[in-house]
Amino acid sequence: FPKNLYKFKPVSSAGAKNPPLMNQVCYGYDLSAINIKNETKNQLQLKWLLNAYALYNNKSDFFLASGFFNKLAGSDVLMQQIKSGKTIDEIRDSWKPELDNFKKIRKKYLIYSD
């Protein structure tokens, strides 16, 4: 990533005992100071991920070979959408049918109206 981004060194921690780039200088985004409510509008934000992918020189190495990204995402669909250049709106639109179905199912379990 460009060296004008936030600089950090991944270290071993409870959540990541052996990060792939442990103790190496890395660059990325410092999101610790953002106002979550204003910045996210209560939605999962993809802009940092899509921007990171756009900035990354070696696209074939962006998604970990371990498949961990797909494990976090639930499938390889998001990875394929990013690789194919889908926009944030196109990605969000692809979630709509499953979200609508989920909302129908959960409706019978709600104590209060939506």
pTM of the model: 0.80
For tokens 């934000």, the residue is 45
Helix (H) or strand (E) holding 6: strand 6-8
User: How confident is the model over 28-66, as pLDDT tens digits?
Assistant: 989 998 998 888 888 889 999 999 999 998 898 899 778
Widest distance between CA atoms in the chain: 51
Lookup: tokens for 89? 């709106």
Contacts for 96 with CB less than 8 Å, ≥ 6 apart = none
pLDDT at res. 25? 95
Lookup: tokens for 12? 């071993």
User: How confident is the model over 88-99, as pLDDT tens digits?
Assistant: 999 999 999 999
**Of 20, 21, 77, whose CA–CA distance to 46 is shortest?**
77
